[in-house]
Amino acid sequence: MKATAWFRKSLVILVSVLTFGLVTPSDLAWLAEADTLKDTKKGLVEEEGLAYLASQNSTERKEEFNREEFLSGILDKAEESAYMKFGEKINPKIGDEFKQVILPKMEEALTEMASQYPDGKLQQLTITEQPSAGRAEKIFHIYDSISGKDIIRFHVRQENPPLEGYWFDFHYHTYHDSFAAHHDLGKIYWDKNTPPEWTSKQKLS
């Protein structure tokens, strides 16, 4: 410590002599203080930059897309749409069979569809909110939320083969052939009598 102080004093005297007194010890102190402030500011800027990068990386990690969670969410909404379409009159009779036989095949079709898309495109897809009522076939559609175009359509059709009674034919269509072909998911038997309209509710007694 003493050697350093002695060196500084010697340096100040030498500079004063060489510059004929134009540079005084107070000038040197001012220059040293300015350098210290510059280093401090540089350090603060670097710290702020590192904090910003850490924050950005944390945000990116939080927003990372999870395919399994996405598919699980779509399947939950698909099941909900189906029960909504069946309504209070049809659901009690076919709901369990639908869950055991048709729903797993819907999941397979949705998983296959998802495998055709990278994460960025897949997360643009969404499901329609309401099934169609009456005698219309639509259960739900998956569509591109950016373009508005359908990707895959899940339908159920009421059929009445001669002497067989009524069946519910579950199937889907894809955009690959402009929704022309029927891809079968399975059939569920209803009854000899005409089934109620979709989304029908039980009448209050």
pLDDT tens-place string over residues 6-33:
656 666 566 565 665 555 555 555 555 6
Indicate whether 59 pLDDT > 50. no
39 within domain boundaries: yes
Task: Give the chain's domain count.
Answer: 2
Q: Are residues 36 and 106 in the same domain?
A: no
Structural domain boundaries enclosing 103: 78-191
Q: Are residues 183 and 123 in the same domain?
A: yes
What does the chain come to in residues? 205
Indicate whether 203 pLDDT > 80. no
Q: Are residues 183 and 88 in the same domain?
A: yes
Q: Is 107 helix (H, G, I), strand (E, B) or coil?
A: helix
Q: What is the pLDDT of residue 56?
A: 59
Q: Is 152 helix (H, G, I), strand (E, B) or coil?
A: strand
Q: What is the pLDDT of residue 35?
A: 57
Q: What is the pLDDT of residue 58?
A: 47
200 within domain boundaries: no
182 within domain boundaries: yes
| φ, ψ dihedrals at 154, nearest 5° | -105, 125
Q: What share of the chain is helix, strand, coil (3-state, %, to 5)?
A: 55, 20, 25
70 within domain boundaries: no
Residue 87: both structure tokens together: 């309504």
Q: Are residues 104 and 150 in the same domain?
A: yes
Q: Are residues 107 and 165 in the same domain?
A: yes
Burial grade of 32 (CB within 10 A; 0-12, 13-18, 19 or more) = exposed
Indicate whether 164 pLDDT > 70. yes
203 within domain boundaries: no
Please compute the mean of the pLDDT values over residues 161-170 and round it to a whole number: 95
